[in-house]
Amino acid sequence: MFSFNSFLIAENPFKSLFLHKIFQLMYRSHSNGELRSEDIGKQVKLSGWVQKIRDKGFMIWVDLRDRYGITQLIFDENRTDVGIMETAKEIGREFVIQIEGEVIERESKNPNLPTGDIEVLVTDLKVLNKSAVPPFTIEDKTDGGDELRMKYRYLDLRRNPVKESLIFRHKVTMEVRNYLSENGFLEIETPYLIKSTPEGARDFVVPSRMHPGQFYALPQSPQTFKQLLMVGGMDKYFQIVKCFRDEDLRADRQPEFTQIDCEMAFVTQEDVMNTFEGLTRHLLKKIVGVEVEEFPRMTYDEAMRNYGNDKPDIRFGMEFGELNEVAQHKEFKVFNSAELVVGIAVPDAANYSRKQLDALVKWVQRPQVGAKGLVYVKYNEDGSFKSSVDKFYDAEDFTAWAEKTGAKPGDLICVLSGPAEKTRAQLSALRMEMAERLELRKPDEFAPLWVVDFPLLEWDEENESYHAMHHPFTSPKEDELDMLDKNPGEVKANAYDLVLNGNEIGGGSIRIHDREIQNKLFAALGFTPEEAKAQFGFLLNAFDYGAPPHGGLAFGLDRLVAILAGKETIRDFIAFPKNNAGRDIMIDAPAGLDQSQLKELHLNVMKEVSEE
């Protein structure tokens, strides 16, 4: 256990005048989580916040709190000075106090508290700072709502669950640093004031005062810099780094977030994956005590076909069964005209009531999911079937459906149909929802998975052009290079994602290190040579000076920490997070600038906006 002044722990701190002097000057000799029955008889000094006061008139008990724990103090009319008794009566919750006293045995011990065998009989008390009454209770279960807690985040941080989350994050971060450093990685910082790096989101920009009309962009990731570090011969780089993306905020996203960003030279995809599989295995073992075998791998195409999702949660089954063959060419028009008919077998749900089934149909029809309807088949325990399409299909048909979806008696087969891509996404949403309802997503079970062979490019309907699925520096599969001109949508990339429990926790790729190939890709992405030069000239130039083959990846640290802790929200693991609208409600940001500042930055705010 951490001790502030181990040399003072000796039975008698007044051994010498020198030690006595030190004892007098310091705020505390021990933390509030430290004292045990072995310490009974010691003279100690403690500092901290007042968690709770119980005033019986002749005796007052105070729970004194700091990061390390809680120690009970006792003020006793018969043993504590009258003046101190009086001061004690004036202290309130969250006051910051310092006490001196003797460790004594507690009469009614508290086995739930590490310091529960002792209490400190106070002989001296100093109020270091008063506190206003806190706007919510600083308890594990608080009465404060989300907004209020965010507004007073510094008070929220005093609560155990938030504090523990930050300590947990620290542990993960330290393990990452140690592991990577031991494996030869150098932690190197890269700048925050840069020019835009394309990662698919909008940039946050910073106006330059010294260069009127010019702007820096905050990095969406250090992507180009880490590649330049490889050209610079750094060989193995990592950084725990803030990234900034101006995206419309979906639930549980933050406009600034932290990556474990890495890059390696002279590596193949296999080398990168092995290194970071090693890191992940190390974290699972050290942080959660779970040993995981070699991580399974799945191609992007398989993931989409079997789970409708490029980050499938494989802790439970419910794999997709395609039913075109066995469900089309009957009288049921909806299926006959659909590009894809696809289903899942929901375990042990055949006993769903009519009401529950109707609710499920409504659920898939919500705009967030967007399915037209849901066909269900109850595969009853006695082997019979009951479905919403009994008119069109018989038991033989349903037996074939059950086979394709892997349904057993007692299961509920849920079927969607429509355009392939959309329908898969809808069924994926349903699969996750059912897993949630059936509590199949166990937070203490860890199922990592590599998804590989992503498409290089994605067709963007809106702009009628291709854009890079990962980023424009990702290397195409070498043997598919030829297709880049004729059939760019078919080309696969040397790109990989690490998925943990249905969340993408990391992703990366082998990079293009050849200028010609990079030019070709820019062309496929619709950049003219001039545009490419204007935006990425620095990188292309660097490739003229001996770029080594290289590749890397980045982990989302916030999400990784949350999953390792078995939690869903990343906010709890960030000391000062933004709310769902991207606002920091504690410091009230973003905020306007005053005229003089705007002028200095050569900025004019559009009239419509400033009048809002």
Structure tokens at 429: 């949403």
Q: With respect to ligand ASP, which residue has the nearer C-beta, 332 or 555?
A: 555
Q: Among 120-128, 413-421, 551-559, 569-577, which window interacts with ligand ASP (CB under 6 A)?
A: 551-559
By CB under 6 A, is residue 418 in contact with ligand ASP? Answer: no
Residue with Cβ nearer ligand ASP (488 or 507): 507
Q: Nearer to ligand ASP by C-beta: 165 or 223?
A: 223
Degrees to nearest 5, angle at CA 370 with 367 and 376: 125
| Contact of 92 with 53, CB cutoff 8 Å | yes
**Torsion from C-alpha of 601, 607, 609, 612, nearest 10 degrees:** 130
**Through-space distance between the first and last CA atoms of the chain, rounded to whole angstroms:** 56
Among 553, 563, 564, 570, indicate the residue that binds ligand ASP (CB under 6 A): 553
Question: Does residue 552 interact with ligand ASP by CB under 6 A?
Answer: yes
CB nearer to ligand ASP: give 172 or 498: 498
Residues 6 or more apart in contact with residue 224 via CB below 8 angstroms: 197, 473, 536, 538, 539
CB of 463 to ligand ASP, least distance (A): 21
Contact 313, 432 (CB under 8 A): yes
With a CB cutoff of 8 Å and minimum separation 6, the contacts of 60 are 53, 54, 74, 75, 85, 88, 89
Give the other-Cβ count within 10 Å of 544's Cβ. 9
Given the complex with ligand ASP, which of 199 and 584 has the nearer CB atom?
A: 199
Is residue 472 close enough to count as binding ligand ASP by CB under 6 A? Answer: no
CA 429 to chain centroid: 20
Phi, psi dihedral angles at 132 (to 5 degrees)? -70, 160
Greatest Cα pair distance, the chain, in angstroms, is: 99
Q: How far apart are CA 250 and CA 580, in angstroms?
A: 8
How far apart are the C-alpha atoms of 342 and 321, rounded to whole Å? 6
For residue 221, state whether it binds ligand ASP (rule: CB under 6 A). yes
Strands 503-510 and 550-556: antiparallel
Q: Of 45 and 245, which CB lies nearer to ligand ASP in the complex structure?
A: 245
How many residues belong to the site for ligand ASP (CB under 6 A)? 9
Task: Closer to ligand ASP by CB, 260 or 427: give it.
Answer: 260
Using CB under 6 A as the criterion, what x/- string covers residues 180-199 for binding ligand ASP? -------------------x
Say if residues 52 and 25 touch (Cβ distance below 8 Å).
Answer: no
Cα distance between residue 413 and residue 436, in whole Å: 17
Of 74 and 521, CB closest to ligand ASP = 521
Contact pick of 505, 507, 558, 571 for ligand ASP (by CB under 6 A): 507
Using the rule CB under 6 A, which residue among 198, 472, 502, 508 binds ligand ASP? 508
User: Which one of 182-190, 304-312, 408-416, 504-512 is the stretch in contact with ligand ASP (CB under 6 A)?
Assistant: 504-512
Determine the interface stretch with ligand ASP among 401-409, 416-424, 478-486, 507-515 (rule: CB under 6 A).
Answer: 507-515
CA-to-CA dists, residue 2 to 96, 101, 343, angstroms: 21, 20, 56
Our finding on whether 31 is near ligand ASP (CB under 6 A) is no
Compute the least distance from the CB of residue 316 to ligand ASP, in Å. Answer: 27
* 223 lies in the binding site for ligand ASP (CB under 6 A): yes
- Judged by CB under 6 A, does residue 275 bind ligand ASP? no
Tokens coding 528:
């003219």
Tell me: does residue 509 bind ligand ASP (CB under 6 A): yes
| Choice between 72 and 223, CB closer to ligand ASP | 223
The distance of closest approach from Cβ of residue 259 to ligand ASP in the complex, given in angstroms and rounded to an integer, is 6
Can you tell me whether residue 336 is helix, strand or coil? helix
The residue at minimum Cβ distance from ligand ASP is 221
Exposure class string for 215-247: b at 16+ Cβ within 10 A, else e? ebbbbbbbbbbbbbbbbeebbbbbbbbebbbee
**Binding string to ligand ASP for residues 361 to 400, with x set by CB under 6 A, is what?**
----------------------------------------
Among 429, 554, 564, 574, binds ligand ASP (CB under 6 A): 554
Contact segment (CB under 6 A) with ligand ASP among 61-69, 183-191, 283-291, 505-513 equals: 505-513
- Using the rule CB under 6 A, give the single segment among 47-55, 112-120, 417-425, 550-558 that binds ligand ASP: 550-558
Nearest Cα to Cα of residue 550 among 279, 276, 273, 268: 268
Burial (Cβ within 10 Å: 0-12, 13-18, ≥19) of residue 493: buried
Nearer to ligand ASP, 273 or 374 (CB): 273
Closest to ligand ASP by CB, 322 vs 504, is 504
* Segment near ligand ASP (CB under 6 A); pick from 296-304, 352-360, 523-531, 549-557: 549-557
Residues that bind ligand ASP (CB under 6 A): 199, 221, 223, 507-509, 552-554
